[in-house]
Amino acid sequence: MPVNQIKEILEENKENLAFIIGNGINRFPDNPESRSWDNLLMALWRQVSKRQLNYRPAGISTTEFYDVLELENNQHINLQESFCRLMADWKPGAHHKLITQKIKSFNAPLLTTNFEETIASAIDFKLFRTEKDGFTDFYPWTTYHGEKQLKSPEDGFGIWYINGMIKYSRSIRLGLTHYMGSVSRARDMMHKGHKRSLFNNKKQSHWKGQKTWLHVLFYKALFIFGLGLDENETFLRWLLIERSKYFRQFPRRKQSGWYLTKNTGDLRDEGKKFFLEKVGIKVIEVNRFEDIYESIWL
């Protein structure tokens, strides 16, 4: 799709948009291997195992590989803390600031699957919580970086962390076991209880997750980029399935969605495209990474 058409999508929907950004923003423009999940996981492997392994074997996902790391960890190294240290010196580039400022001008929520604060440090932000009661550093889902206090995550610009924050190492979701914990917590908010669960709630607010970033996922149009959304993204893929089910139950609340990606010609992308379109996310393909991380934001 041409850049001008993508800009039109952003402009026409800016009053109701939310963004989901993955680690691709940290690997542009030079695609450093040091910032790839595989490289980071292999660095952990070298810390915990005497067995030589140069790459993650085919047939095991990154999330499963992390759980194997936990099994291999006879030295009892805190792997979540170690993973955070590997990202501690990451700095934002000019494109981080360009993208963040544009999203801020839309006054739109920004959700990220990343753990570090590279996006937030592109501009000087503070730490806020929409709800102080019941805070847990395992699931800091009411915590965000922003410029002002928000009553609800949908009320304006803030940077929210889907898979945990580097500030709270115990919140970092790396393994399949971690993802299952997140699914369990989200499921409790969405399905359990009578009046305050999402799917039983006749009103659009005042459900259990209303103060968390989950609220944004179900009540805003989504623009997703910089995210592989491969099979290992178990938690987010499940949430998109639940989002589609929710809109089927409450069709008047249905929101749009777009997934921006570079056209690779890889046949494996067909399955991803099939999945996304079935859950209501339109796939937009471009030919250059520059279009994703620079051109559409100018």
**95 plus 77 within the same structural domain:** no
**219 plus 179 within the same structural domain:** yes
Q: Which domain holds residue 273?
A: 3-29+91-297
**54 plus 120 within the same structural domain:** no
What local confidence, expressed as pLDDT, does residue 243 receive? 97
What are the pLDDT digits (tens) for 238-259?
A: 999 999 999 999 999 999 999 9
pTM: 0.95
Q: How many domains does one find in the chain? A: 2
What are the pLDDT digits (tens) for 162-202?
A: 999 999 999 999 999 999 999 999 999 999 876 788 888 76
**139 plus 246 within the same structural domain:** yes
What does the pLDDT average to over 79-100?
Answer: 94
**249 plus 206 within the same structural domain:** yes
Buried b vs exposed e over 119-142: b needs ≥16 C-beta within 10 Å?
bbbbeebeeeebeeeeeeebbbbb
**131 plus 258 within the same structural domain:** yes
For residue 257, the surrounding DSSP H or E stretch is: strand 257-262
**21 plus 55 within the same structural domain:** no
What does the pLDDT average to over 64-82?
Answer: 92
**66 plus 132 within the same structural domain:** no
**110 plus 60 within the same structural domain:** no
**81 plus 174 within the same structural domain:** no
**129 plus 66 within the same structural domain:** no
**82 plus 104 within the same structural domain:** no
